[in-house]
Amino acid sequence: MEKIKLGLIGYGYWGPNFARVIGESSNSTLKYCADSDDRSLERAKKKYPTLITTKDYRDILSDGDVKAVIIVTPTKTHYQIAKECILAKKHVFIEKPLCQNVKEAQELILLAQDYKVKLMVGHVFLFNSAVKFIKDLIDRGHIGRLRHLHFQRRNLGPIRQDVNVLWDLAPHDISMALHFIGDKPFSVIASGESFLQKGILDVVSASLKFPHNVMVNMIFSWIDPVKVRDIAIVGENKMVLFDDVAQSERVKIFNKNANIIKNTLDVSFGEYQISLHSGDILVPAIENREPLKEEFNHFIDCVANNKKPFTDGQNGLDVVRIISAIQQSLDQNSTLVKL
């Protein structure tokens, strides 16, 4: 199979990682790199001497040999760049979030359908082997009916100026929440504060209510003392902890639960008819594959074999719609927003 030629738009913080993954691919090659910053282009050219570099991403769109583009630019630029790429009939991979509002996301989805190109969003955690393992546990009923999920994504920086902490960090955890639960929330409520930059929230907490009495809490922060990236999933039968920062034992399955005692014979009032069970902790062996490489290979497979991306435009829209609702709650002094 002839290698698929790609263009990379954006060589800032995350772009070099894509350039590396493309360079390691056996069925694709990076022909162009576009960035508005001269120093970024110099770094790219030094690393990849045969690369064509440009400050105008439209140079990529006029090249018929380029079949697909990777967009790794600030969120506010996603819509316009992706729209032009689609109109040029290029397949598009765009980093999270898809766009900065629902209307833009909906338009890109329709354009991609009209021009018959793939539109994929970079919800990279859905390609994480630990996340796949946990999803399989849930789907096979091993932890029982879901009750509560708690997400933490906290660290001291990096602090951005183009978006607030919600739009920076929430796409990861919202995409995983939707994936694990297999449903969409019907309401959100949030609170946050701007401590460092006026008008740019650097701490946000949000609570989401899902059908079947499932509750999700999330906290995002740029100003915490240690890096925390963990998820606690509480089921009717068992509980799971995913610590993405841990060097080992990243997933732990706790044989713990709390349930109402159906047979209350000989149960004292002080026990409140509740049974608390605490058993063993299982640390499963999970194959460790690079999520970014898995994600990129999936995109190339979709382009080469005309497949629907797992994290397609609709998936990106679902995440943007929820973030927008959380933002609305923040803008309206922590009011409950229904979806």
pLDDT at 260 over 80: no
pLDDT tens-digit readout, 196-230:
999 999 999 999 999 999 999 999 999 999 999 99
pLDDT at 248 over 80: yes
Q: Is the dihedral of CA 322, 180, 244, 294 positive or negative?
A: negative
Yes or no: say if 37 and 13 are a contact pair by the CB < 8 Å rule. no
Q: State the DSSP H helix or E strand holding residue 172, giving kind and residue range, or none if neither.
A: helix 165-181
The tokens describing 195, both together, are: 């401590």
For residue 211, is the peptide bond before it cis, meaning its omega torsion is within 30 degrees of 0? no
Q: How many CA atoms lie within 13 A of 293 on its CB side?
A: 11
Q: Which amino acid is at 268?
A: S
Q: In the predicted model, what is the mean pLDDT of residues 14-40?
A: 96
Cα–Cα–Cα angle for 125, 208, 206, rounded to 5 degrees:
80
Q: In the predicted model, what is the mean pLDDT of residues 316-327?
A: 98
pLDDT of residue 256: 83
What is 4-124+291-311's CATH number? Answer: 3.40.50.720
pLDDT tens-digit readout, 269-311:
555 566 677 778 999 999 989 999 999 999 999 999 999 999 9
Spatial distance between the Cα atoms of 293 and 259, rounded to a whole number of angstroms: 41
pLDDT bucket at 247, cuts 50 / 70 / 90: confident
Spatial distance between the Cα atoms of 319 and 135, rounded to a whole number of angstroms: 18
pLDDT at 128 over 70: yes
Average predicted confidence (pLDDT) for the chain: 94
Yes or no: say if 98 and 316 are a contact pair by the CB < 8 Å rule. yes
For residue 284, is the peptide bond before it cis, meaning its omega torsion is within 30 degrees of 0? no
pLDDT of residue 263: 59
Residues of the chain with pLDDT > 90, as a percent, come to 90
The tokens describing 72, both together, are: 């790794």
Q: Residue 249 burial by CB count (10 A; 0-12/13-18/19+): exposed, middle or buried? A: exposed
**Domain 126-289+322-338: top CATH class:** alpha beta
Q: In the predicted model, what is the mean pLDDT of residues 170-198?
A: 98
Spatial distance between the Cα atoms of 291 and 293, rounded to a whole number of angstroms: 5
Residues of the chain with pLDDT > 70, as a percent, come to 95
pLDDT bucket at 1, cuts 50 / 70 / 90: low
Domains of the chain by residue range = 4-124+291-311, 126-289+322-338
